[in-house]
């Protein structure tokens, strides 16, 4: 028995030192070089924090671009998806309700013109980005609600298009919070 206990105790101590000390430093040190020092990059407007760059927020007013839907209502402490499959009747009804709501607020848009990211939630429910098509399909509504030309609003969207990482990884996207902040200053 002594033969098994001593190696187990030694292994436990080695693991504690590694995972509580060394591994923590390996994660903590690079985070200190990141924007926000590992605590997230905040977004400022009018000299106050209005959100975080990589955390989605809820926008439902017609004068703003809407974010991607969130199953967790954008609460970062409980991120997650619905875990419902694409043929689940409850899920299909929820998506159809989102489509119907979108069509009511965006007259003249056809159902086939709505990008899927505007009616389906992301895996974490906290995605701060929408597709470029998702932003373009909302231009008419936002311009009309703000009494601004569609060309000005579309130009603003064009300025906020983020390219894929290294030009290879991911797709073009638009950060909704930053777009809506700059929309406030557009007259």
- pLDDT per residue as tens digits for the range 17-73: 999 988 988 888 888 887 777 766 767 777 776 666 777 788 888 999 999 988 877
- Work out the burial of residue 53: count CB atoms within 10 Å of its CB; fewer than 13 is exposed, 13-18 middle, 19 or more buried: middle
If asked whether residues 76 and 121 sit together in one domain, one would say yes
If asked whether residues 77 and 165 sit together in one domain, one would say yes
Tell me which long-range contacts 150-154 makes (C-beta under 8 A, separation of at least 24). Answer: 152/186, 153/183, 153/186
- pLDDT per residue as tens digits for the range 113-155: 999 999 988 877 778 889 999 999 999 999 999 999 999 999 9
Average pLDDT over residues 78-95: 83
Query: To 5 degrees, how large is the angle CA 57–CA 110–CA 95?
Result: 50
If asked whether residues 122 and 101 sit together in one domain, one would say yes
If asked whether residues 25 and 85 sit together in one domain, one would say no
Start-end of H helices in 1-136: 2-17, 23-33, 89-105, 132-136
């Amino acid at each position: 028995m002594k033969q098994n206990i001593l190696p187990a105790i030694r292994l436990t101590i080695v693991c504690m030192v590694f995972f509580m000390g060394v591994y923590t430093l390996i994660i903590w040190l690079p985070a200190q070089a990141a924007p926000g020092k590992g605590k997230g990059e905040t977004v400022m407007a009018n000299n106050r924090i209005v959100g975080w760059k990589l955390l989605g927020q809820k926008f439902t007013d017609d004068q703003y671009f809407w974010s991607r839907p969130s199953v967790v209502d954008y609460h970062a402490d409980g991120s997650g998806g619905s875990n419902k499959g694409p043929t689940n009747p409850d899920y299909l009804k929820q998506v159809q309700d989102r489509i119907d709501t979108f069509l009511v607020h965006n007259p003249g848009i056809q159902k086939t013109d709505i990008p899927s990211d505007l009616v389906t939630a992301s895996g974490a429910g906290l995605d701060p980005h929408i597709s470029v098509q998702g932003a373009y399909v909302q231009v008419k509504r936002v311009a009309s609600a703000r009494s601004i030309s569609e060309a000005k609003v579309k130009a603003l969207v064009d300025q906020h298009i983020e390219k894929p990482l290294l030009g290879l990884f991911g797709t073009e996207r638009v950060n909704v919070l930053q777009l809506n902040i700059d929309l406030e200053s557009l007259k």
